[in-house]
Amino acid sequence: MSCPHPGGPAAHLEALRQELSGRGWITSLLEPPGRPPSLFVQNPDPEAAALSDHILVDGDGQGSCCYWWPWATRIAPAASPVLATARITAVLRTSDLDRPRPSAGSGSARPAG
């Protein structure tokens, strides 16, 4: 499969890079010689820097281009970088369960008076 659109995969990855960067995510468009381009995406939280991956663009076998995870799972159509951004950031963000919860005595309740 390949991406038949003008500009090919790199153009789609650049659109995704701009969308992710605009939301504060760390990105780098990689175009190594002899290999397909990819977009490296990293969680901007220094404590979550390990939450990162490469995004690829390829055809879907039906004439459309899509964003793909490296493990060959489709993310979204390449024509929808906003949708792809939402899905990528959902996967690469930290879980709300990982965040410390306020203790029972640290609430904002006012003393009865």
32-67 pLDDT, tens digit per residue, is 999 999 999 999 999 999 999 999 999 888 888 999
112 in a structural domain: no
Q: Is residue 12 a part of any domain in this protein?
A: yes
In a domain, 89, yes or no: yes
Within-domain flag for 102? no
* Bigger pLDDT: 60 vs 71: 71
Place of tokens 């504060």: 24
Query: Does any domain span residue 1?
Result: no
pLDDT of res. 63: 80
Domain-located, residue 36: yes
Q: What distance in Å separates the CA atoms of residue 76 and residue 1, rounded to the nearest whole number?
A: 16
Greater model confidence, 26 or 105: 26
Share of the chain above pLDDT 90, in %: 69
For residue 3, tell me if it sits in a domain.
no
pLDDT for 111: 47
Decide which of 91 and 7 is more confident: 91
Position 59 in a domain: yes
CA distance 10 to 55: 11
- For residue 71, the enclosing domain spans 8-93
CB-based contact 7:13 (threshold 8 Å): no
Structural domains counted in the chain: 1
Question: Is 107 a residue whose pLDDT tops 90?
Answer: no
